[in-house]
Structure formats: structure tokens, C-alpha cells
Structure 1
Amino acid sequence: MPNAMEKLVYKLKSQWDTILECERVVEKERCCEELQKRRLEERKEETKQFLVEAEKHEVWKFRGLVTIKKEREDKEAWLRKNPNPLHKLKQKRRFLQKDYHKGDFFQFDADDWASTMATDEIYKRDFSAPMWEDKMDKSILPKIMHVKNFGRIGRTRWSDLLDEDTTDRSTP
């Protein structure tokens, strides 16, 4: 059978694809692919650099922790060798115990740990010990009395409304 003639299709001149345009499109696609490959390589390098930096940071942090631990152990060893008899551990305070300060006024002799301790009895007093009404165990009192200054003028009536039922169901 003889070659059949193809049907001619007419295109506008603006729709013509020339060889140059086809080559430009191919070149542009190839440039985009190369750019993607370069970006991928750069990203891999950045990731490697980041991992190296993170590893350096971890090593630095570990050295810092080791240094802190060594300093703490040295300090504890020194304290075990040279205990400070004037340094007292704070006592656990009682429930609702008031805090009294020893005061700075009218103390003529120094009583801090760096200086010599005075021999007077007042300088040896423990100000963290409970006094007067703090000696009583307030935890056995009813819950409403678990406040400071209960029944005195300076105390407000309500400390908070968390424990109170504020709904009034008697009103219509």
C-alpha cells in the first residue's frame, strides 16, 4: 500500500515550535537538574558540618559536666576534711510555723561563720525553732483553723474560695 498522506494541520505562527526553542527548553531542564544536584550536595555537606558541630558541642558539654562534677567532689572532700562547726543545717519547719529573724540591731559581737562566735547565750539561740503558739501541733485542728492569725482582727475572713461551694440553690 502506498504511503498515505498525513492530514495537514495548520498552526498559528505563535504556536510554532522551532528547533532553537526545543533546545532552549532541554537546556533549561538540564540546568534545573544540575542545580538540584548541586543543592543536594550542598545540603549533604551542611548536614555533615552540622553533625560535626553537634558532636563538638556534645564533647564540650560532657567536658563541662565532668569539670562541674570534679569541682563538686573536691568541695565535698574539703568539707569532709574541714567541717564547719558553726554551719548548721536548717531544721524542718512545723506546719504554719512563723519565721523569726534574729535581727541585726544591738548585736555588738559578730556571730557569722567567718568571724569569731560570741560567747553570750543570745548569740547561740536557734531562731528557726518553734516558739509560743508554734509549739502546738496545728495539723490536728479543724480545717478552718489551718490559717495564720485565726480569730484575730488582722486576718481576713476568706483566704480563697477553692474549698467553698459558692452555688446558692435556695434562690429560684
Structure 2
Amino acid sequence: MKQFFLTTMIVVSLVLGTNGIHAQTTETQLNQVELLKQYFGTWKSEYKDTTQMFVFTPYTKGMQGSYKVMTKGKIIYQCKQLWAYDKNSDKILGMQFDKSALGVAVYLCWFSSKNVNETVGLIIRDPEHIEKTNEQWKEEFKSRDLFIQSHMVNNKTVSVRTFMRVK
């Protein structure tokens, strides 16, 4: 009887252990809304006499942002952004409203890993005709307070910027 009980316990342990190991190998889906929160705050990048600033604050299941580029203390570009999670695509949609232009830029982004965000520009001709542009961005969070942004055009890197959190 003791031998039967011991054998049964070993078999049950092996079965449960195998089931637990199998569950650990199942890939979990990334929580895009939670990962987007890494951006909240003020970010700054400086190169020679040019400074770029992002300020991101929470807005529903996304964020709103302000972006400006300054050279020698003078603002040369400025825009507002709105980013929102789309449940159907499991991606984040962004719109950018330029202060000096009449057009609106549209973006689609997603976290491909916990610290890498990929973004593509979109052109919307009408609801049935959405095209990807030749511009892409890849941002990699190296730490809580630093990310590297690579900007690509036609799959070639045209700039790499380091953004540091200032607030």
C-alpha cells in the first residue's frame, strides 16, 4: 500500500510538473497600453546646437504629446500628438498636428518586445485606402530614463538620437 501511494505521488508530481513546464513556454501577449506608459514624462535630445523635446502625458488608454525642435534657442518645429490604443489591431494609433502645416500625420506603432517600439507612418486617402509611407522609427528603451530613436527612410537609417528623461 505504501509503495502504491509513493508511486502514485511520483507520477502525479511528474504530470503536474510537466504541465507547469509546458505553461511556462507559452508566449504571452505584450500589454501595449502598459508598455506605452514608459513614455510618460519629459524627454530631451541634444545634438550640436539643436534640441528636441517630447512631453508625454496620460490620455485615456494612450497619451498626448507635445514635440518641438529648437536650434540656438529658437523653435523651428512644433506639433501636438495624440496616441490611442486600438483593441482590434492590438496596436497604437497616433496623429500628429503640426503647428505650421495644415496636414495631419498618422502613425501606427506597437511594442515588439518589452523595450522596443516600432512605428510606421501612414497615408490615409480614405477609410478603405490606408498606405504605409517610406518612414519608420524604432525606439529602444535602454533604461527607465533613456531611449534610442532610429529614424529610417526607405529602410535606411537616416538619424539616431538619444533621449534622456528630464522629468
Normalised TM-score (structure 2): 0.25
Larger Rg: 1
Normalised TM-score (structure 1): 0.24
Q: Which has the higher helix share?
A: 1
Q: Which has the higher strand share?
A: 2
